[in-house]
Amino acid sequence: MNKGREKIEWVKRNMPVLSEIKERFKEKKPLEGHKIGMALHVEPKTANLVETLRDGGAEIAITGCNPLSTQDDVSKYLDNEKGIRSYAKRGVNTEEYYEAIDNVLDFHPDITIDDGADLVFRLHSERPNQIDEIIGGSEETTTGVKRLESMESDNALKYPIIAVNDTPMKRHFDNVHGTGESTLSAIMATTNLQISGKNIVVAGYGYCSSGVAKKAKALGARVTVTEVKPRKALEAVMDGYEVKKMEKAIQKADIVVTATGNKNVIGREELKKINNGAVLANSGHFNVEIDLEAAEDLANNVKEIREGIKKYELSDDRNFYVLAEGRLVNLAAPLGFGHPIEVMDLSFSIQALSVQHLAKNPELQPGVKKVPQKIDEKVAEIKLKTMDIEIDELTSEQKDYLTSWKSGT
């Protein structure tokens, strides 16, 4: 059995929501005539999304959205499939990375799907003339949405993009549970270290980072949170976390996980104060959260001492360790397998329905768009159905009550 295909079979079994959508797509062909350009983590779950879109009638060109997250057997499998070409390769340098993105753009897609907005950015900066060919796009991740919002407020965003990341179904499941579980699972598998009893510092208390904090604490770690927003900081306090500045927290940290979407969250000054032996991992989209330049600079010696673990030796005999070169650890670590399959089932189902929405509504105005409420709810409904979970329905009396305002004490 083909290795890539085998991986995908297991994944499909565990993506019942997307399966149901795929069945409908096969029958109705809602994407007939569309060409979709994609830059996503090319791994088995993504392959299932790609096939779903293809089965819906689209032609696809795909590449990776991170130099280390592609699984080559999956990329090869996709490239051999009808209606799909894949340019993704693991371990590419920056030049090769953008070359592959250019290949996708050469395909002249009319819909884009991005995870981090590199495809959108390349298109806007290098191929402005192709923009008119595009009816819309969708974006998977927090970092990408933030980038698109910046583009929008600079009036630089020229077509409509649906912010899949920001829809409640994505935030509550993919970000909290998906990032939380997979980040810890990747750290455990890469280091074989224990979580319980550790001092773990989590940078940020947004959806992703609070998910990491919650799961780490649940496993028995003492978790300290760092934040820049007072309200989020206070939320962390009330949820039972220690809250400190990073420069304080890092002095006692056994493990630090960043997931803020910002750069240099662990910067030069923090690195100088680091606890001897600390392990640093990043769970944010880009490898900017740990200041690796400063790290190289401060270290006398840097070496890979175990797959996915680099040791930085400081001049004063302290060391620290960086996992997966500071890239998002749940995908880029040799033993990071990305988000759990069922989580991606939800996120990719939203992707598939969002692309269908774009195909049906080719005249949307440029800008960052919400996922239509109906799509978000639809995915929740299908998921509950596949789990055989029944919930209450409002009676008409209850509906009336909710819209009335005259009955009080």
State which of positions 69-128 bind a second copy (CB under 8 A): 94, 97, 116-118, 121, 125
Tokens 């280390």, residue located: 68
Question: In this complex, which beta carbon is closest to a second copy, that of residue 25 or of residue 286?
Answer: 286
State which of positions 130-189 bind a second copy (CB under 8 A): 146-148, 150-151, 153-154, 156, 168-169, 172-173, 176-178, 181-182, 185, 188-189
> Which range, of 130-138, 293-301, 357-365, 375-383, touches a second copy by CB under 8 A?
375-383
Residue type, 119: L
Return the H-helix or E-strand segment holding 103. helix 94-106
Nearest to 217 by CA among 229, 233, 199: 199
> Which range, of 72-80, 133-141, 241-249, 364-372, touches a second copy by CB under 8 A?
241-249
How many CB atoms are closer than 10 A to CB 211?
28
Burial of 154 (0-12, 13-18, 19+ CB in 10 A): exposed
Among 67, 137, 160, 284, binds a second copy (CB under 8 A): 67
Give yes or no for a contact between 205 and 235, defined as CB atoms under 8 angstroms apart.
yes
Distance CA 236, CA 77 (A): 44
Tokens 């200041």, residue located: 291
Tokens 């096969």, residue located: 26
> Which range, of 54-62, 104-112, 239-247, 349-357, touches a second copy by CB under 8 A?
239-247
Among 91, 129, 155, 238, binds a second copy (CB under 8 A): 238
State which of positions 192-211 bind a second copy (CB under 8 A): 192-197
Answer yes or no: is 283 a known binding residue.
yes
Among 340, 353, 369, 375, binds a second copy (CB under 8 A): 340
Binding-residue total with a second copy (CB under 8 A):
114
Identify any residues that bridge with 199 across adjacent strands, giving them in sequence order.
222
Question: In this complex, which beta carbon is closest to a second copy, that of residue 57 or of residue 272?
Answer: 272
State which of positions 288-327 bind a second copy (CB under 8 A): 288, 305-306, 309
Question: In this complex, which beta carbon is closest to a second copy, that of residue 219 or of residue 364?
Answer: 219
Instruction: Tell me, residue by residue from 25 to 64, as one string, x for binding to a second copy by CB under 8 A and - for no binding.
Output: ----------------------------------------
How many CB atoms are closer than 10 A to CB 28?
12
**Which residues, 6+ apart, have CB-to-CB distance to 399 below 8 Å?**
none
DSSP 8-state secondary structure symbol assigned to residue 195 = -
C-alpha pair distances (Å), 291 with each of 272, 280, 282: 12, 11, 11
Among 35, 107, 243, 325, binds a second copy (CB under 8 A): 243
Give me 271's structure tokens.
């690195």
Does position 409 interact with a second copy (CB under 8 A)? The reply is yes
Answer yes or no: is 241 a known binding residue.
no
Answer yes or no: is 143 a known binding residue.
yes
Entry field: residues in the chain: 409
Which residue ranges make up the annotated binding site for NAD(+)?
A: 141-143, 206-211, 227, 283-285, 330, 339
